[in-house]
Amino acid sequence: MIGRFITLEGGEGAGKSTQARRLAGTLQTHRIPCLVTREPGGSPGAEEIRKLLVHGEPGRWDAMTELLLLFAARADHVVRTIRPALTAGRFVVCDRFTDSSYAYQGAGRDIPRETIRRIESVVLEDFKPDMTLILDLPVEIGLGRAHARGAAETRFENFDVAFHERLRQAFLDIAKRSPDRCTVIDATKGEDDVAQAIWDAVSRRFGL
């Protein structure tokens, strides 16, 4: 079995964490070994950095500091978790990856795309997901879901609505830039329907 790297992207409240777990469960029912992970986080060091990023007020970090913290966490995550799993022939399903930096710190916080690309090139070289599923839904629905779940990690949720609108458009733009890698999933549907759409897309892509 060849390891494959699948990422789920989208705005707040899109259901990425739930769908990552469900996709992993479906892969395992097909006897495909799978690891579920997340960003920021996914390794002990990256989880420590996560605590700095997801708590506190929106203005806690300037945009560049935030971006560098994220890539520091990502570097550790890739080295300690993602690459070893892929080398062992496992599928890796990750809740967020580098596309989120282009959306959140790029479109959301005005860091030029080329700046992010340069940092990405240094940290990751040419390492990218084999497939990215972008869960799309209107901002007001996503934020409503996010606030309803009552999670403690609310720093990004608390940015203004205009910020979240920029995120949504950024993810759709990423899908247009990379149509061979990205598939947009309608996340307004029920959890089961979204899970089925994701499995249909993944099974087609990898011939499962």
Instruction: Write the pLDDT tens digit of every residue in 87-111.
Output: 999 999 999 999 999 999 999 999 9
Above 70 in pLDDT, residue 153? no
* Average pLDDT of the residues of the chain: 93
pLDDT of res. 40: 95
DSSP code per residue over 83-95: HHHHHTT-EEEEE
Above 80 in pLDDT, residue 158? no
Greatest mean pLDDT among 55-59, 84-88, 145-149: 84-88
Which CATH number belongs to the domain containing residue 150 in this structure? Answer: 3.40.50.300
Above 70 in pLDDT, residue 118? yes
Above 70 in pLDDT, residue 75? yes
81 is in which domain, residue-wise? 5-206
Per the structure, the count of domains in the chain is: 1
pLDDT of res. 145: 85
Above 60 in pLDDT, residue 152? no
Quick one: pLDDT band at residue 115, thresholds 50, 70, 90?
very high
Instruction: Please tell me whether residue 112 adopts helix, strand or coil conformation.
Output: coil
What is the average pLDDT across 18-42?
96
C-alpha closest to that of 75 among 117, 35, 41, 99: 41
What is the average pLDDT across 142-157?
74
d(CA 59, CA 109): 11
pLDDT of res. 156: 77
Q: Is the distance from CB of 203 to CB of 131 less than 8 angstroms?
A: no
pTM, two decimals, is 0.93
Quick one: pLDDT band at residue 151, thresholds 50, 70, 90?
low
Number of H helices, E strands in the chain: 9, 5
